[in-house]
Amino acid sequence: MRVNVTVNGEQRQADDVWEGESLLFVLRERLGLPGSKNACEQGECGSCTVYLDDVPVCACLVAAGQAQDREVRTVEGLADGDALDPVQEAFVEAGAVQCGFCTPGLVVQAHDLLDRVPNPSDPEIREALAGNLCRCTGYEKILDAVRLAASRR
Amino acid sequence: MDFLRPETLAEALELKASRPDAVPIAGGTDVMVELNYDHRRPSALLDLTRVPELRQWSDGLRIGAGVPYARIITELGEQLPGLAMASRTVGSPQIRNRGTVGGNLGAASPAGDTHPVLLASDAVIEVASTRGTRMIPAAEFYLGVKRNALEQDELIVAVHLTPAKGPQQFSKVGTRNAMVIAVCSFGISLFPQENRVGAAVGSAAPTPRRATEAEEFLASALDFRNPAPLLDSVKREFGELVSRAASPIDDVRGSAAYRKHALAVMARRTLGWAWQELLDGERACA
């Protein structure tokens, strides 16, 4: 089937999409947007977090057809040209990135948190990121990054 | 595979009638996992996310089957504290943004987080087909492991719940707070005006189930009109009866013996919290 979807403000079209395919597969393999990562494919790890109509979701759990005529914003859509989003900058500066695989999902999820709660408490940060797994950092630097981004927004 | 995309409830019911093999999908938090892992190859998916009737709630309360957990927490937490508590324990923020009570009911997993609350709060499930609408009490909805009372041509349309008439509590045991399937869970609802409680266990029997004897015991042992501090003996007996209502198995998440023990603990604690809330409320009114 054909899927028409707005991705990062641009009208996109994917053809020959299998009806049982996930939005994540469409983004990565058909639309050339490999920022969202594919790891668990069951919503456990949060690496594929994207905005769907402004709500963060696991792209692996959205059927491609469900994204028809919807708006998707991926990690690629957060930066303004070469200027990184404050959340992305904070992740770099705080050393919150090691292997980098979980980073796109964490950045999108943290971005949403700071949009809703400009000055989150530590428990609020932990709760917001509870669905994003990182196996490298031990999370401390990630919490630092979110606090840093909050202080700058 | 076909991808069916109804835009009204009537259209969805027509499609389900003509394609009973179509698997309904809303938040996708169960169905997409099965597809991604090749555990299921349905001949059709019936996408319910574009059906506005399913995504609304109205006073009374009638909650559309497609209202995600995140909205139940933010919009209905005051009126349905028990359901909101259970909803907060579902998955992660991303999962709660997508997952729905209708999906919990459709999957009918014994471990589904909202089931004990729906049972303890006398929820009624509204299901519909082109043949008409049926109202099924939650206690009659769960038939077996991942089996519910739906006919092939029916869809879960809404859940009916009255706004809480007294304190409600929910408790769940798992290895961490987020992203956990319940080892076992427990829901309790107090109905002070009717001098009774609802109590139900999850993930501790082939289906979620009410702890009827425990409910009857509390109805006779407690005076809701002049609530006095709870006796330890009452809490213990209640925990014991809740534990006895379960028939758990040993599995990867926990042993049957542990589940029985944990249920008694959760029952004692949640009763204590709910009863304290009742006492505090009385004092505030006095």
Provide the token pair at B173: 């045991």
Residue A80 lies in a domain: no
- ipTM for this model: 0.97
Residue pointed to by tokens 């990182």: A134
- In CATH terms, the fold of domain B168-285 is Enolase-like; domain 1 (3.30.390)
Mean of the per-residue pLDDT values for chain A?
Answer: 97
CB contact (8 A) between residue A68 and residue B5: yes
> Closest Cα partner for B180 from B234, B266, B253, B261?
B253
- Contact predicate A62/B45, CB 8 Å: no
Residue pointed to by tokens 């042992």: B221
Domain final residue pick, A75, A94, A119: A75
pLDDT, average across residues A106-114: 98
| Residue A45 shares a structural domain with residue A109 | no
Domain final residue pick, A75, A107, A136: A75
Domain residue ranges of chain B, discontinuous segments joined by +: 1-46, 168-285
Residue A44 lies in a domain: yes
State pLDDT tens for residues A111-125.
999 999 999 999 999
Q: Cα(B181)–Cα(A43) distance, rounded to whole angstroms?
A: 13
| Residue A37 shares a structural domain with residue A69 | yes
| Residue A123 shares a structural domain with residue A66 | no
| Residue A55 shares a structural domain with residue A92 | no
pLDDT number for residue B281:
87
CB contact (8 A) between residue B97 and residue A56: yes
| Residue A130 shares a structural domain with residue A71 | no
State pLDDT tens for residues B32-86.
999 999 999 999 999 999 999 999 999 999 999 999 999 999 999 999 999 999 9
Strand partners, B113: none
- Number of separate domains in chain A: 2
Whether the pLDDT of residue A14 is over 90: the answer is yes
Residue of A42, A57, A130 with shortest CB distance to B177: A130
State pLDDT tens for residues B23-41.
999 999 999 999 999 999 9
pLDDT number for residue A93:
97
| Residue A71 shares a structural domain with residue A10 | yes
CB contact (8 A) between residue A43 and residue B1: no
| Residue A94 shares a structural domain with residue A47 | no
pLDDT number for residue B286:
58
Residue A25 lies in a domain: yes
Q: Residue A27 belongs to a domain with what CATH number?
A: 3.10.20.30
Whether the pLDDT of residue A104 is over 90: the answer is yes
State pLDDT tens for residues B158-193.
999 999 999 999 999 999 989 999 999 999 999 999
Mean of the per-residue pLDDT values for chain B?
Answer: 96
**Chain A residues contacting B, CB < 8 Å?**
1, 18-20, 22, 41-44, 46, 49, 55-58, 60-63, 65-66, 68, 109, 127-128, 130-132
The boundaries of the domain holding residue A54 are: 3-75
Chain centroid offset of residue B162 CA = 14
Q: Decide if B143 touches A, using CB distance below 8 A.
A: no
Helix boundaries (H) for chain B:
9-18, 31-36, 69-76, 81-88, 93-98, 101-107, 115-120, 138-141, 212-221, 232-245, 256-285
Residue A65 lies in a domain: yes
Residue A90 lies in a domain: yes
Residue A68 lies in a domain: yes
Whether the pLDDT of residue B14 is over 80: the answer is yes
| Residue A69 shares a structural domain with residue A119 | no
| Residue A13 shares a structural domain with residue A33 | yes
| Residue A55 shares a structural domain with residue A113 | no
CB contact (8 A) between residue B91 and residue A1: no
Whether the pLDDT of residue A76 is over 80: the answer is yes
Residue A54 lies in a domain: yes
B283 — pLDDT class (breaks 50, 70, 90):
confident
Residue by residue, DSSP assigns B59-84 as: TTTEEETT-BHHHHHHHHTTT-HHHH
Domain final residue pick, A75, A96, A119: A75
pLDDT, average across residues B97-120: 98
Residue A81 lies in a domain: no
A10-14 contacts, C-beta under 8 A, 24 or more apart: A14/A64
DSSP-derived secondary structure letter, A51: E
Proportion of chain A above pLDDT 70, given as a percent: 100
pLDDT number for residue B282:
74
Q: Residue A102 belongs to a domain with what CATH number?
A: 1.10.150.120
| Residue A22 shares a structural domain with residue A69 | yes
For residue B4, cis peptide bond before it (omega within 30 degrees of 0): no
Most B CBs within 10 A among A55, A57, A60, A124, hence the mutation to make, goes to: A57
| Residue A90 shares a structural domain with residue A71 | no
